[in-house]
Amino acid sequence: MTVFKDSEQMQAMLKDLWTHVIKETDVGPKLKEYDVNYKFVINEPNGFVYVDADQVLTGAEANREAVITMELSGDTVHQFWLKQLKLPVALATRKVKTKGPIPKVLKMLPYLKSVHDSYPVYCAKHGIHAN
């Protein structure tokens, strides 16, 4: 059983979460300052999420060029934002594969705390068990 019911639920929840994060926290300005944007290529359930300083896209239109691309499963998305999976372990075990400059991946990490913090709240909002 996967954490997300289907692609629609997962993409809707992640869009909601990231929209909050880029508009309400310092993630948006930092993405702009560091010239970073992300594409998440998710499997089980399949989906795309694209995030830059101004917008969050999902579905086919999110499948576009990005500075950092992360490939991972829906369950890994969940574990990672719940801090149940450390990044080095995720990378080493290839649960997360990244393409794009590793220094840029690392320099954004401290600002992603707000994604970790907000994640359980958005899980609850979208009816997803946060554990």
Partner 1 sequence: MHYLDLNIELTKEDIMLKEAAHEFARDVMRPVAQEMDRMTAAETVAPDSPFWEFKKKAYELDFHTILIPDSYGGMGLSPLQQALVAEELAWGSVGLLVDLAVAAFPAYLASLVPDEELIDEIIVPFCECRDGKIAGCWAITEPMHGSDTITPGYPSFHDPNIPSDCNIADDGDCYVVNGQKAAWVSGAPYATHAALFTRMDEGMGHAGSGIMIVPLDLPGVKRGAPLEKMGQRDDPQGELFFDNVRVPKKYLIVGPEAYEAMLDITLSMTTALMGMGAVGVARAAFEEALAYAKNRVQGGKALIEHQDVQKKLFNMFGKVELTRQMSRAAHVYNQNTSTPAEEYSVLCKVYGTQSAFEVTSEAIQIFGGNGVTREYIVEKLFRDARAMMIEDGANDILAIAAGHKLIGSYPRRD
- Tell me the sheet residues that pair with 50: 39, 57
Determine the Cα–Cα distance for residues 119 and 103; give it in Å rounded to an integer.
Answer: 24
Site for partner 1 contains 1 (CB under 8 A):
no
Determine the Cα–Cα distance for residues 89 and 95; give it in Å rounded to an integer.
Answer: 8
Residue closer to partner 1 by CB (options 64, 86) is 86
User: Which of 41-49, 73-81, 85-93, 121-129 is the region at the interface with partner 1 (rule: CB under 8 A)?
Assistant: 85-93
Site for partner 1 contains 102 (CB under 8 A):
yes
> Helices in 2-101 by DSSP H: which ranges?
7-24, 27-33, 74-81, 87-92
CA dist 50 to 6, 47, 86, 127, Å? 18, 10, 22, 22
Nearest distance in Å: CB 82, partner 1: 14
Residue closer to partner 1 by CB (options 44, 71) is 71
CA angle in degrees (0–180, nearest 5) for 31-32-34: 65
- Tell me the sheet residues that pair with 38: 51, 68
Nearest distance in Å: CB 117, partner 1: 11
User: Which of 5-13, 44-52, 57-65, 84-92 is the region at the interface with partner 1 (rule: CB under 8 A)?
Assistant: 84-92
- The H or E element spanning position 116 is helix 113-125
Footprint of partner 1 on residues 18-37 (CB under 8 A)? 30, 34
User: Which of 13-21, 47-55, 58-66, 92-100 is the region at the interface with partner 1 (rule: CB under 8 A)?
Assistant: 92-100
> Given the rule CB under 8 A, which residues bind partner 1?
30, 34, 86-89, 91-94, 96-103, 105-113
